[in-house]
Amino acid sequence: MVDPAANTPGMFSSARDKRTFLYGLSLLLDIMALIGGYLCALELRDERWLAAGGQSIIFIALPIFIMFEIAREAQDVETLGNRLVAIRRSLGALGATAFVIIGMGFLFKSQEISRLGLAVTFGAAAILIIAAKIFLDAVVKRILGDAVLATILILDGLDARPEPYASVVNVGSEGLWPDPDRPDMIDALSRLIAPYDRVIISCHYDHRPAWATFLKGHDVGGEILLDRDLLHGAVAIGDYDNRDTIVLSRGPLNLVNRIQKRSLDLVVALIAIVLLMPLLIGVAIAIRLEGPGPIFFRQLRVGQGNRQFRIFKFRSMHVESTDSAGNRSTSRGDERITRVGRIIRRTSVDELPQLLNVLRGDMSMVGPRPHALGSTAGDELFWHASRQYWLRHALKPGITGLAQIRGYRGATERVEDIDRRVRCDLEYLSNWSLWNDVIILLKTVRVVMHKNAY
């Protein structure tokens, strides 16, 4: 079987990634249109007639225009799919900007601003915006094709007719379904649906609970074709090919929230790496001096959308005792741990290389902690011990999380240990906000050294 951690989607592998690029291009073209209108006005009026209080009006208008573009949602799925809607919203933002600039001129009694210059600036900008939207429409069709939202129809034992532009995969013919006892199957299916926005499942009744659990743990919109009245905790009712579907997931975060969370991750991770560089180098040297073996320990963990990735940690065990599958939880006084390992585990320093996972996009600073495939609670695998285990992976795993700041760390000796963590993770998913992430990061400082860290 192919390494599950390989073949990770690239920058433009999913429709969402492509749309994010197109949103940025759309905003850039609108900004250039306003600047172009200002340059046209400069051909008719001297620069001093297009300034207020010594400040060029373009530097005043641009931030106001961008604010109105965001407020009017000039860059979203609907505007990418409908040129007229895109033109109407951007022209609305431009008109609101012109109104504010004129209002400011009256308020501050600015007589030096040329009315002709303003008219040319915003009139030419309007024409350029219309031209830009026509150009963008062609770019959208070239990059996304005729469907702005990417849809995949998965057939698992039941036939269904695909709508135009939808991809179709028959997993039933290969005996592939989200068997909760087969993480490899779940990983393969997760990678299959990762590039899409909407996943439609056509399956037999007895497979629906597994598909329902699988879809709820992903960051895409998931639906099951209905032929019986069974909802599985659906969040809405949809339709496909003139048949009803139950909507089981829409993804926990919208585009703006994902941008906010990723920006926080990058800023915090980069600052932490710079500030902690002497410590990281010192630990690496100590591990190398203590004995032979790699500095880093890499292990397969379950990540966002139940897709597997390789996590980085400082190696804290003797090479011959390394547990790559995570079948044995670390215990107090564990003989496998090196002298340096005891120190870095006690202080949580062994977790710091996960900052690299954050930069790579495998992890977030805050989120559910990623577990090894062989992790057990008592004598049961995590996904056997908790029926809701797979749902916790709708967001990227984190270096820290709500469960950690509440003290749920260390070995999971009983089923209740994983139950408490899963409940915390699902609470975090339900109540996510950027401010909560900041609070969790700040509270993590007090649990860096913990009685269960060994």
* pLDDT tens column, 128-144: 999 999 999 999 988 88
274 and 377 share a domain? yes
Confidence of residue 54 (pLDDT cuts 50, 70, 90): low
What is the average per-residue pLDDT within 220-236? 70
User: Domain ends where: 249, 269, 291?
Assistant: 249
Are residue 350 and residue 238 in the same domain, yes or no? no
* Domain termination site, one of 144, 171, 190: 144
Domain assignment of residue 112, yes or no = yes
Domain holding 74, by residue range, is 15-144
Let me know whether 231 and 272 are in one domain.
no
Whether 348 is covered by a domain: the verdict is yes
Q: Let me know if residue 452 belongs to a domain.
A: no
**Residue 187: its pLDDT value, please?**
92
Say what the pLDDT of residue 90 is.
94
Asked whether residue 329 falls in the same domain as residue 241, the answer is no
Number of structural domains (the chain) is 3
Last residue of a domain, one of 249, 279, 298: 249
Is residue 10 one of the residues assigned to a domain? no
Predicted confidence (pLDDT) at residue 204 exceeds the cutoff of 60: yes
Residue 234 has pLDDT above 80, yes or no: no
332 falls within a domain: yes
Tell me, yes or no, whether 298 and 280 share the same domain. yes
251-304 pLDDT tens trace = 778 778 888 899 999 999 999 999 999 999 999 999 999 888 899 999 999 999
Say yes or no to pLDDT of 117 above 70: yes
pTM reported for the whole predicted model: 0.69
Q: Are 267 and 403 in a shared domain?
A: yes
Q: Is residue 5 in some structural domain? A: no
Same domain, 28 and 119: yes
pLDDT of residue 5: 41
- Say what the pLDDT of residue 284 is: 93
- Do 206 and 315 lie in one domain? The reply is no
| Domain shared by 28 and 90, yes or no | yes
Residue whose structure tokens are 């001096």: 289
Does residue 44 share a domain with residue 85? yes
> Is pLDDT of 447 > 90?
no
Same domain, 131 and 209: no
- Within a domain: residue 67? yes
In a domain, 51, yes or no: yes
pLDDT at 188: 92
Same domain, 230 and 271: no
